[in-house]
Structure 1
Amino acid sequence: MRTTGSAAVALTFDDGPDPVQTPKILELLAENQVKATFCLVGDQVRRHPEIVRQIAAAGHTLCNHTWDHSLTIGRTKPAKIQADLRRTNDAIRAAVPGAQIPFFRAPGGNFTDALVQTAYADGMISLYWEVDPRDWEHAAGEDDASHVEKIVKGVQKDVRPGAIVLSHDFNQPDTILAYEQLLPWLKERFELGVPAQPQPPATAPAGAPAAKAAGAGAPGAAAAATEASTKAETPASAL
């Protein structure tokens, strides 16, 4: 799933919860009355369940981002993938009993058919993005002000109705400063919301056409995601 399925622009924040940055993002979103999607790393959830409760209490959408942000998990055996995703969901639901987790995002955008199919079988649509300002990437010699400006301009240049925007709330203070500027700018120009939540069946439908399935994050979507993944792949250092 690369777009929201509507005219709304969706903001997504990966790699948290972070005890310092995530509450600041939540405060900014509340001030601007904007809902977002948080792609949560299971081990961070285990460490900071209270932050997950804050995210859920504020009405934001939850997304599984694997247990420890392994960039190669998609190349492991399906049973290991399933165990990882379920362990992450269990941690989220230990923090927020009964939590809905409609989305899955592969670390670095490294989707494989096995990842997409396993997430789909567990009721999660695979969530990609269209806009990546690379907020995690600090170029050599780049000062903080220049980095913030790069993030802001990156979003402003590429955003359009229906776009899903990738950002990070783990150890990324410049992202906070960028969104102080971006949220008012985005609200003036776009409807802001969350991706549509089509409900997948318990198992993938046999023989589902790949082109149709790819649009919904169902099996076959990995091939559609691969092209963009090769253009902008988050390194392990970005968590």
Structure 2
Amino acid sequence: MHLFRMPALVRRLLPDCLWQMPASGPPTLYLTFDDGPIPEETPFVLEQLARYQARGTFFCVGDNLRRHPEVARAVVAGGHRLANHTYHHISGWSHSRAQYVQDVAQCQALLQELQPAARPLLRPPYGRITRPLARLLRPSYQVVMWDVLTCDYDPDFAPEACLAAAIRHSRPGSIVVFHDSVKASRNLRYVLPRYLAYFAERGYHFAAL
């Protein structure tokens, strides 16, 4: 079973997190990409976004930033936003607050060198964060969750079904999660160009957070 949207109860339990953007003005979608940057998949994403003058937000794993700074620089050069996905892609449920905050800070140090931000964005890996931890991070980070999870990372999820679900659940103001990862490659490469074409034809814009 695929959970494309977080239940309303979970959203109420984590009120300090950003779940979607206001649906005002031209219809806009906020595409986000987790787990990169990597040379195998991130350049493909950048090519697809450029075709539609789309801007996205890339939630980067710190260790990937360390290994592939040239890919991260290409993201910035494309007019996109870099954001924090922790250094080691760790869960906020299974690490101490001190360990988690340190891992986030380690990733942020690399991000600040590449693209300084007044108030950094953080997406918890797996969406796993506790309410006290979200409150602790709030003064320094905007914790970003999502309105639509494409589940592109699931190898048992057929590309056609992944696309149909992503389209069906998206609406103006949605924060949509894709993954620029090897694991998600099959679905990402099928879904993203068709998703962009579908909504561009309907007058949507694609903006960074």
SS of equivalent to 1:121? coil
For residues 171-222 of structure 1, the C-alpha deviation after alignment (integer angstroms, 9 at most, x for no partner) is 1222022112111111122232133xxxxxxxxxxxxxxxxxxxxxxxxxxx
Gaps of 5+ in 1: 196-239
1:27/1:100 Cα in 2 relative to 1: closer, same or farther (>3 Å)? farther
In the alignment, which of 92, 108, 116 is matched to residue 111 of structure 2? Answer: 92
1:25/1:85 Cα in 2 relative to 1: closer, same or farther (>3 Å)? same
Report matched runs for 1:37-186 at 5 Å: 37-71=57-91, 73-94=92-113, 96=114, 98=116, 102-122=120-140, 124-139=141-156, 147-171=158-182, 172-174=184-186, 175-186=188-199
Gaps of 5+ in 2: 1-17
Shift of 1:114: 3.6
Report matched runs for 1:15-34 at 5 Å: 15-34=35-54
TM-score, normalised to structure 1's length? 0.72
- Cα distance in 2, alignment partners of residues 21 and 101 from structure 1: 27
For residues 115-154 of structure 1, the C-alpha deviation after alignment (integer angstroms, 9 at most, x for no partner) is 32343222x2111111112100011xx6xxxx22122101
Letter of the structure 2 residue corresponding to residue 49 of structure 1 = P
Letter of the structure 1 residue corresponding to residue 107 of structure 2 = T
Shift of 1:31: 1.4
- Cα distance in 1, alignment partners of residues 115 and 109 from structure 2: 9
SS of equivalent to 1:156? helix
Shift of 1:26: 0.4
Shift of 1:112: 1.1
- Cα distance in 2, alignment partners of residues 4 and 193 from structure 1: 11
SS of equivalent to 2:30? strand
Shift of 1:75: 4.5
- Cα distance in 2, alignment partners of residues 97 and 180 from structure 1: 27
C-alpha contact (below 8 Å) 1:85/1:119 kept by paired residues: no
Letter of the structure 2 residue corresponding to residue 180 of structure 1 = P
Shift of 1:99: 5.0
Between the aligned residues of both structures, percent identity stands at 31
Letter of the structure 1 residue corresponding to residue 33 of structure 2 = F
SS of equivalent to 1:63? strand
Shift of 1:20: 1.1
Coordinate RMSD, CA, aligned: 1.8
The number of residue pairs the alignment matches comes to 186
In the alignment, which of 193, 208, 211 is matched to residue 207 of structure 2? Answer: 193
TM-score, normalised to structure 2's length? 0.82
